[in-house]
Structure 1
Amino acid sequence: MTQISAAQKPAQTQAADSSKALYGGIPGKSSTRRITVRDLTGAKERGEKWPMLTAYDAMTASVFDEAGIPVLLVGDSMGNCHLGYETTVPVTLDEIALLSAAVVRGTSRALVVGDLPFGSYQEGPVQALRSATRLVKEAGVGAVKLEGGERSLAQTELLVQSGIPVMSHLGLTPQSVNTMGYRVQGRGDEDAHRLLRDAKAAEAAGAFAVVLELVPEELAAEVTRSLHIPTIGIGAGAECDAQVLVWTDMMGLTSGKLPRFVKQYAQLRTVMGDAAKAFAEDVVGGGFPQAEHAFH
């Protein structure tokens, strides 16, 4: 790929100050202090990388919050891994609102970002504002995410002007699966320049961060250097400011073949399956319940 001309990366301050670190908590401050978009900007300025995970329920969200994950995305990926849909397209705003509220209730520190699902913002800025306002007012999210760069600029601008932080999503945009499929985006000079323009346009419109999904590592690095706002990679290499994974993929709960960018940190599908079998065998064999499990 031909090198893309870009602005120099903002000057970095000293190595990340542990008293301001996003991951793992902020020493000396209340655990109820929510992460804000300003914190993410500060991390970018310090050159500090940070993790983001998806979450769809209060219990899982509380585990990640206690683990120090600073940003939780209530993604429309819930369609695939939580609601049983084949794609994210059928996910509704009602479903996002319901699960976002649960994640907010299960956390005290993480910035909770709610996805705007397909059909909830494509009509234009007014529809986007109506949908995003509902997630902020009813679910209590601290920000929303929407797909698209230049094609979503008017929506992003109005939301930001209205006081709703916006995370942009570029590269592979799953809501457009019926037109683009599941493939790497930004290969070739023309596509690379288009993605870079989209990223800069999203920043200019007021987005506080940009997700880069299935983007060549070199292009993602160029975009990261070109922006003053954080980039969040998923299948976009190591040079992004942050990394996100779908939690069921990361925990080994998802069945079947996984994308090559996924690293599994546990095998929950095996653990849960073994536990279910052990329970069933106890019930069938009379090993459960026993005296200590009964009331008199």
Structure 2
Amino acid sequence: MRKWLQLHVDTPAEAAAAQAAGIVILSCEPDHQLEALRKAAPGAFLSAGMPHGSVSSPQEAIRLGFEILRRGADSIYCSHSPFFIEAMAREGIPVTGHVGLVPNRATWTNFRAIGKKAEEAVQVMRAVKDIENAGAAFIEVEVVPVRLADFITRSTPMITMGMGCGSTCDTQYLFSSDVLGTNRGHYPRHAKKYADFAVLEAELQQKRVTAFQAFAADVENGAYPQAVHQVDMDDDAFERFLTLSNKL
């Protein structure tokens, strides 16, 4: 079975790089960069998250869902209840649900693997079926045991997007911040760092500071601007300007 690669991207540069690398399933936030992300990766399937708590009725979910699609997304990630998912799905909006470790619900579960005990695994499976019955097309499966993730993938027609649950789901999903090493916080067990952009960005930031300091020093000591950095008028033109300006 084909394994699709998936990344959560934060910038247009990351989106373009992902598409160039053959990673064409992307997720993102529906912030001011959504249109730029769409432009940077026109051939990618782009799932944009509906901020949790941003809607309080099915009608608002439908309105915001269509708005996010209009801005360039191909599907809507929704961690709200199946009640909201069903409303959007009935209107033909492709929706991604979420089970397992759902950060927006970590107040009740904490940040841990979900479904290691049989009773909790049943709860996860019940949530899968609720989301499936609501009409979702995709479901993110995050940090659940491998055998449970495999059971979910084999038991649902939804495309499963796997993060931290082995290689059994339809997509292998990571955050670009973990892959690139821009994450300055905790790295989850399932993450793997393939570059250390944090070091590169720190070096780049210091180069910015150094360049700005040099600019300030040049202005202070008169080294900038020089004649090559400016334009002037010849004497005749300036004299005519003075004459004409007297008539203002």
Q: TM-score, normalization: structure 2?
A: 0.79
CA shift, 1:279, in A, is 5.9
Name which of 25, 29, 33 aligns with 1:99.
33
For the pair 1:265 / 2:194, whether they are aligned, the reply is: yes
For the pair 1:128 / 2:82, whether they are aligned, the reply is: no
Partner amino acid, structure 1, of 2:51 = P
CA shift, 1:295, in A, is 6.1
Secondary structure of residue in 2 paired with 1:207:
coil
Secondary structure of residue in 2 paired with 1:98:
coil
Secondary structure of residue in 2 paired with 1:211:
strand
Structure 1 pair 253/194, CA: closer, same or farther in 2 (3 Å)? Answer: same
Structure 1 pair 283/142, CA: closer, same or farther in 2 (3 Å)? Answer: closer
Q: Following the alignment from structure 1 to structure 2, what is the Cα–Cα distance between the partners of residues 234 and 244?
A: 5
* Partner in structure 1 of residue 13 of structure 2: 59
* Partner in structure 1 of residue 115 of structure 2: 186
For the pair 1:201 / 2:141, whether they are aligned, the reply is: no
Superposed CA offset, 1:157-197 (max 9, x none): 22122121001111111112333221211121111111112
Partner amino acid, structure 2, of 1:53 = L
Query: Can you give the 5+ residue segments of structure 2 that lack an aligned partner in the other structure?
Result: 219-226, 230-248
Structure 1 pair 225/63, CA: closer, same or farther in 2 (3 Å)? Answer: same
CA shift, 1:266, in A, is 0.9
CA shift, 1:203, in A, is 2.1
Decide whether the 8 Å contact of 1:74 with 1:99 is kept in 2: no
Name which of 175, 181, 202 aligns with 1:246.
175
**Percent of residue pairs identical:** 29
Q: Following the alignment from structure 1 to structure 2, what is the Cα–Cα distance between the partners of residues 113 and 196?
A: 23
Q: Following the alignment from structure 1 to structure 2, what is the Cα–Cα distance between the partners of residues 242 and 295?
A: 56
Report which of the two has the higher share of helix. Answer: 2
Query: Can you give the 5+ residue segments of structure 1 that lack an aligned partner in the other structure?
Result: 1-46, 76-95
Structure with higher Rg: it is 2
Write the mapping of 1:1-296 to structure 2, written as runs, cut at 5 A.
47-75=1-29, 96-121=30-55, 123-137=56-70, 139-147=71-79, 152-277=81-206
CA shift, 1:281, in A, is 5.7
Deviating 4+ runs (over 4 angstroms): 278-286
**Number of residues paired by the alignment?**
219
More relative contact order in 1 or in 2 (CA 8 Å, sep 6+)? Answer: 1
Decide whether the 8 Å contact of 2:162 with 2:172 is kept in 1: yes
Q: TM-score, normalization: structure 1?
A: 0.67
Q: Following the alignment from structure 2 to structure 1, what is the Cα–Cα distance between the partners of residues 53 and 31?
A: 14
- The CA RMSD measured in Å over matched residues stands at 2.4
